[in-house]
Amino acid sequence: MPVLSEIDYGVGLITLNRPDKLNAWTPAMRLAYFDTLDRFAEDPEVRAIVVRGAGRAFCAGADLSGIRAPDAQSLALRAAEPREYWFPLSIGKPIVAAIHGPCLGIGLQQAMFCDVRFAARDAKIGAPYVRRGIVGEMGITWMLSRLCGVGAANDIMLSGRTLSGEEAASVGLVNEAVEPEEVLDRAMAYARDLAANCSPLAMRTVKMQLYQDLMDDFTPSFERSERLLDEVLRGEDVKEGIAAVREKRPVSFPGLDPSLARSGAWPK
């Protein structure tokens, strides 16, 4: 199976599972990965999601045996999967990437479409498109420039060079670089903290706000935040959060309603 999954203390763990191919991306992996995200999004037991790669890599990029000019077969496969490559952004739960080894091309693109990234110090992170005669694909330039700024994005995209996990952290491409043997544990600990202590409804709403605000001007963003604040102040999660502080006890938030599994449909 190209993707494995399990649930651990409120955290849905997804493993890209083609270790003999460094988890090179295929249409079958895309379908299985998005299906698993969909399933975890609708499962109230899952409150946060971690994505990792099996074996020696996170994802070394696209399986080059499947790269070819568009033809009837490839266009039919594309039409059969309506979910765009930015689909993880629409999932109403936080997604944490645990990056080790190669994380290249579409592997980097999918890591960036997670919400938080932890990387091994010696991870190999890059977008070597120009070194293959390929341009930035699947929204990678849009997200890269927002994560680490235009200057760093130009360097990464124009040179096609490989960054270590430490350098990626220094430019903001990943949130933190840790020792290789600690990457999964760090990502899981972070996700378990979210699952145990953060309101699923509030996290879903904040994720929606962050990505909508990337695409909007300040005034609509401000007005949206005021409206959303009014809504949550009338809800039960705020009452529970305040009561837990007053009573000096852990919070006990309900799981996310499956009807709120998606945080929104983003402009194409």
Residue 71 has pLDDT above 70, yes or no: no
pLDDT value at position 63? 85
Residue 111 in contact with residue 65, Cβ under 8 Å?
A: no
Two tokens, residue 70:
């568009």
Identify the band that residue 75 occupies on the pLDDT scale cut at 50, 70 and 90: low
Q: What are phi and psi of 58, to 5 degrees?
A: -75, -65
Identify the band that residue 92 occupies on the pLDDT scale cut at 50, 70 and 90: very high
Two tokens, residue 268:
């194409």
User: Which residues share a beta bridge with 51?
Assistant: 14, 97
Q: What percent of the chain has pLDDT over 70?
A: 91
CATH classification number, 199-260, choose in 3.40.640.10, 3.30.70.2740, 1.10.12.10, 3.30.450.40: 1.10.12.10
- Of the two residues 52 and 86, the one the predictor is more confident about is 52
pLDDT value at position 268? 46
- Of the two residues 154 and 233, the one the predictor is more confident about is 154
pTM of the model: 0.86
- Of the two residues 68 and 117, the one the predictor is more confident about is 117
Question: What digits encode the pLDDT tens for the residues 161-177?
Answer: 999 999 999 999 999 99
Domain definitions of the chain by residue range: 3-195, 199-260
User: Which residues share a beta bridge with 177?
Assistant: 119
Neighbouring residues of 266: CB distance < 8 A, sequence distance ≥ 6: 86, 89, 90, 211, 212, 215
User: Which residues share a beta bridge with 219?
Assistant: none
Q: To the nearest 10°, report the CA torsion of 59, 8, 87, 28.
A: 50
The distance from CA 27 to its chain's CA centroid, rounded to whole angstroms, is 18
- Of the two residues 217 and 185, the one the predictor is more confident about is 185
Measure the CA–CA gap between 191 and 169, rounded to whole angstroms.
Answer: 19
Neighbouring residues of 17: CB distance < 8 A, sequence distance ≥ 6: 1, 2, 3, 4, 23, 54
> Radius of gyration of the chain from Cα atoms?
19
Residue 267 has pLDDT above 60, yes or no: no
Residue 221 has pLDDT above 80, yes or no: no
Name the architecture of domain 3-195. Alpha-Beta Complex (3.90)
Two tokens, residue 237:
């999660």
- Of the two residues 244 and 158, the one the predictor is more confident about is 158
Residue 268 DSSP one-character state? -
